[in-house]
Amino acid sequence: MIYAKMEHHEELVCATDFKRGHNYFCPGCKERVTYKNGPQKQAHFAHYKKTCHYFSEGETDAHVIGKKLIKLWAEKRHKQAKIEEYLPKIKQRPDVLINLRNSQLVVEYQCSPLSLDSFRKRTKGYKEHGYRIFWILGKRHMLGQRLTQQQAMFINFHKNIGYFLVYLDAEKQCLVLKYELCFENLYGLRYRTGIFTDATALMLFIKINSRNRNLALTRSELAGQLTKLEKNCHYLNRYLKNQIDYCYARRQLFMGFPLCCLSESRLPPIYQHEDIFWRIRVVLELQEVMADSITRSEIELMFMKHQKITKMFF
């Protein structure tokens, strides 16, 4: 670990600021730790015993340590930071309040679940009083293969890294960035991951990362989607089965759909299901309502227009 507690001090101390003659403790289990510094690894603290089981116990403790880390990282950037400072005007107590040059930044380290309503209220309260707000998430909200509504409401956007979420791993004492979030037909949610030792490293990455804006899918990627679709038809997950039944009820073959139902680019992470499903429904409805008066190329043109609109979200 990079940060430990010095005896008689509440604050965390970075291993690079280690001073001889003091005892240091794990911020989690409170066991004494030893200082290590060698040519192979950067300065760090280590438990005498191999393991620390502290963090598996609860998110409250991770929350306490996370707030301290955020404060320390802000101070390393020469910013004044306070933990749980009461703001009487809005009757709120932000996890960490950081003084920036021209504004104040509220950092909320969200480890527990939060309803959309409370999220809105809290964000609104801060914004109305001129505070900037940034959410850092705890382990519970970690991205998997699907995007939940809980995770979706915390998504940010930056021109250099696209849609992103920031996590703080209180146990490993690092920041985890999930970026370039997008949807791809049949593959669901896709993103890249970066791990950073502190806020400075994360901010530098965001600043210098030039985004791979190539959102268009290649021919082979599209072919891969088609193969996967064919395979999935046999596995029949419930959602896909509903789609196939829906087509069947209209005397149509699910696999007989025009290629324009497969989007040619990656999509912003705003859909619950892949866009192929609603595209197929649109084609079915059009064919039903307009019978032969709509041509295949007219349908393709319509989807091309939609593609332009989606690109505006990236």
Tell me the C-alpha distance between 146 and 191, whole Å.
Answer: 11
> Of 52 and 182, which has the nearer Cβ to Zn ion?
52
**Three-class DSSP labels, 26-84:** CCCCCCEEEEECCCCCCCEEEECCCCCCHHHCCHHHHHHHHHHHHHHHHHHCCCEEEEC
> Of 52 and 62, which has the nearer Cβ to Zn ion?
52
Q: Using CB atoms within 10 Å of the CB of residue 53, give its burial: 0 to 12 exposed, 13 to 18 middle, 19+ buried.
A: exposed
Q: What is the token pair recorded at 279? A: 């595209």
27 sits near Zn ion (criterion: CB under 5 A): no
Q: Are 149 and 116 in contact (CB under 8 A)?
A: yes
Q: Quote the least distance from Cβ 175 to Zn ion, whole Å.
A: 20
Q: Quote the least distance from Cβ 65 to Zn ion, whole Å.
A: 10
Cα 114 vs. chain centroid, distance in angstroms?
15
Tell me the C-alpha distance between 35 and 2, whole Å.
Answer: 10
Q: Are 17 and 62 in contact (CB under 8 A)?
A: no
> Of 55 and 254, which has the nearer Cβ to Zn ion?
55
26 sits near Zn ion (criterion: CB under 5 A): yes
Q: Which of 3, 13, 28, 267 binds Zn ion (CB under 5 A)?
A: 28
Q: Quote the least distance from Cβ 112 to Zn ion, whole Å.
A: 22
> Of 57 and 288, which has the nearer Cβ to Zn ion?
57
> Of 65 and 107, which has the nearer Cβ to Zn ion?
65
64 sits near Zn ion (criterion: CB under 5 A): no
Q: Quote the least distance from Cβ 1 to Zn ion, whole Å.
A: 8
Q: Which stretch binds Zn ion (CB under 5 A): 5-13, 28-36, 150-158, 182-190?
A: 28-36
51 Rama class: left (phi>0) / alpha (psi -120 to 50) / beta:
beta
Strand, coil or helix: 301: helix
52 sits near Zn ion (criterion: CB under 5 A): yes
29 sits near Zn ion (criterion: CB under 5 A): yes
Q: Quote the least distance from Cβ 81 to Zn ion, whole Å.
A: 24
Applying CB under 5 A, the residues found at the interface with Zn ion are 26, 28-29, 52, 54
